[in-house]
Amino acid sequence: MSTSIWDPATPIVLASGNPHKLEEMNALLAGRLRFISLTEAAASRGVKITEPAEPGQTFEANAEIKAVSYARQLGMACLADDSGLEIDALGGRPGVISSHYCTDGQEAGMTRVQRDTANNQRVLAELGDIAPAQRTARFVCVLCLAAMDATGQERAILTVRGTFEGRIGLPGTDGAIPRGTNGFGYDPLFLVGPASTQTSAELSPQAKNRLSHRAAAVEQLVDRLGVRA
């Protein structure tokens, strides 16, 4: 049995403005870690937080940038998630700019729904009629936990990575792609492997919480922190 290095009663700020991620993390870690939102943390500390730039070329780099920045601003432990989609036939794109792929990584004032739709359209257009077997892809989730050390300096405590393998559906061959209402982002395009009969957006929340890239990263996180139920 691993020895705990974290007090489960100590709140951790989930350094993301995405409400879906907060819901997933709370569902995955109920009873093991306590999460609060950036908004709640900022209000409790009476500070106005600034979103850091994310110039990193890897998920790990950007996750650490976010975790350390928010830990510094709030004086609290922060867990940052950097995640996205890697498609082998596109050389790993969209990668670290997955959430803004339609605008080449730039913020353009679109709503989340508009951006998701445009991102999906770009991915399908770039893949074209590439054969199903060549449309392999994976969701990647990197979690970085940062907190204050004994000298009062914020630092990254640990970083973990999880993946979720599958492929991008081919419209016409794989049915109506995109499809499914239980996900967001690229979930409606992503056929869960190896059976490839369902998209990630067609999985129940319970199934997704067992199989997803975020679930895989969380399993590593709880192992490293020693907070298994």
The CA distance from 187 to 64, in Å, is 25
Q: Residue 26 burial by CB count (10 A; 0-12/13-18/19+): exposed, middle or buried?
A: middle
Q: Do 63 and 217 meet the contact criterion of CB atoms below 8 Å apart?
A: no
Do the strands 154-168 and 136-148 form a parallel or antiparallel pair, or are they unpaired?
A: antiparallel
Catalytic residue among 7, 81, 82, 116: 82
Residue 203 three-state SS: coil
**Predicted local confidence at residue 1, as pLDDT:** 40
Residue 7: active-site member: no
Q: Do 63 and 33 meet the contact criterion of CB atoms below 8 Å apart?
A: no
212-222 pLDDT per residue, tens: 999 999 999 98
The CA distance from 62 to 60, in Å, is 6
Residue 69 three-state SS: helix
Sheet holding 190-192, edge to edge: 34-37, 11-14, 78-87, 136-148, 154-168, 190-192
- Structural domain spans, the chain: 11-225
Class of domain 11-225: alpha beta
| Token pair 């999906």 in the structure block, residue | 120
Is this structure's pTM higher than 0.95?
no
- 5-19, 60-74, 127-141, 163-177: the lowest-pLDDT one: 5-19
H or E stretch including 87? strand 78-87
